[in-house]
């Protein structure tokens, strides 16, 4: 049975309904970015101070990849979280998740490297995954250049970014590196091939992320229908999840993606991967980046930060 939204979430939903914005699936990708990216920036609230922020462009499989490096106080070299933003592989960018990354740096006392991977539909699957892996590999190989400890690197992300973090973990295992200490998967897209589980049925037309939205994102991201069954698009379909880094999987109760996140955590556990699963009651999709408007978001950020500190041997 569906739960009730947290009061702050309900207030946000009321504001969105009153604004009368057109459904995502009626917008072009350019229109979606114009409409949604400023909202995500607003969700984050005023950016908190961090010790240092540096923008770089690094080599990628097809041109340069912009990254943003957030560094905590201290001398380093620092453990690092390589972070991939959400947005259905279509919207969002370094700025939409800037506030979240700043909070993660301060609470986890690690560096955070946010990756501006190529977006669809201009760049179809597997472009985003290839960029995410290439960026992670570059960070591991160039740690001394950016004051990062190459032996303590984690990957993480929310939604499509959670998908990319899971996929990079699979790629790193299959390709012999880089070695990863942890994976932070926040309401990850785990299976693009099947949108018919319990939470898809329960929340198909509810809250911020609808089934129609996921169909829209998938159609723009995937070059071919059969790509949905590739484990680098749908990590839940990977045959072997053994040997992957420890994971924290965070989901929101009122979200079409809740069940597949739970299923992915179960599969990791069954494969012998240390995993913790946390479902935040009363929360909706995208709550993890609502650091400026939802109090419970900071509980999830602190849980993620604590898990990172433990994985990095900082506690």
Provide the annotated active-site residues.
159, 255, 285
Contact 5, 284 (CB under 8 A): yes
Strand partners, 85: none
Contact 192, 159 (CB under 8 A): no
DSSP-derived secondary structure for 220-251: HH-SSGGGGGSTTT-GGG-S--TTPPPEEEEE
Terminal C-alpha separation, the chain: 39
Quote the Cα angle for 175-177-180, to 5°: 130
Contact 132, 117 (CB under 8 A): yes
Closest CA to 205 of 256, 257, 260: 256
Q: Can you tell me whether residue 115 is helix, strand or coil?
A: strand
Q: Can you tell me whether residue 113 is helix, strand or coil?
A: strand
Q: Which CA distances in Å does 86 have to 98, 107, 235?
A: 12, 20, 16
Closest CA to 35 of 50, 46, 19: 19
Report residue 65 as tokens: 């990849």
In eight-state DSSP terms, residue 25 is G
């Amino acid at each position: 049975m569906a739960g009730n939204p947290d009061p702050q979430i309900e207030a946000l939903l009321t504001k969105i309904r009153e604004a009368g914005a057109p459904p995502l699936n009626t917008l072009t990708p350019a229109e979606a970015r114009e409409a949604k990216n400023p909202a995500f920036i607003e969700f984050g609230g005023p950016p908190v101070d961090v010790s240092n922020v540096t923008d770089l462009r690094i080599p990628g499989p097809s041109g340069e990849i912009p990254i943003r490096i957030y560094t905590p106080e201290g001398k380093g070299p620092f453990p690092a979280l390589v972070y991939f933003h959400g947005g259905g592989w279509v919207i969002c960018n370094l700025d939409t998740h800037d506030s979240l990354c700043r909070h993660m740096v301060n609470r986890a006392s690690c560096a955070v490297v946010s990756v501006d991977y190529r977006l669809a539909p201009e760049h179809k699957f597997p472009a985003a995954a290839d960029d995410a892996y290439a960026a992670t590999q570059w960070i591991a190989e160039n740690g001394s250049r950016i004051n990062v400890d190459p032996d303590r690197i984690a990957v993480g992300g929310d939604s499509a970014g959670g998908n990319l973090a899971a996929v990079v973990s699979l790629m790193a295992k299959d390709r012999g590196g880089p070695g990863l200490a942890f994976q932070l998967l926040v309401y990850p897209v785990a299976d693009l091939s099947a949108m018919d589980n319990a939470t898809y049925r329960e929340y198909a037309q509810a809250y911020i992320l609808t089934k129609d939205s996921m169909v829209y994102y998938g159609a723009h991201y995937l070059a071919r229908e059969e790509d949905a069954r590739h484990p680098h698009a749908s990590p839940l379909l990977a045959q072997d999840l053994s040997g992957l880094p420890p994971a924290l999987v965070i989901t929101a109760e009122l979200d079409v993606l809740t069940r597949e996140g739970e299923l992915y955590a179960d599969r990791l556990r069954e494969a012998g991967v240390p995993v913790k699963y946390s479902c935040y009651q009363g929360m909706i999709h995208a709550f993890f980046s609502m650091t400026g408007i939802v109090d419970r978001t900071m509980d999830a950020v602190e849980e993620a930060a604590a898990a990172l500190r433990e994985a990095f041997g900082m506690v």
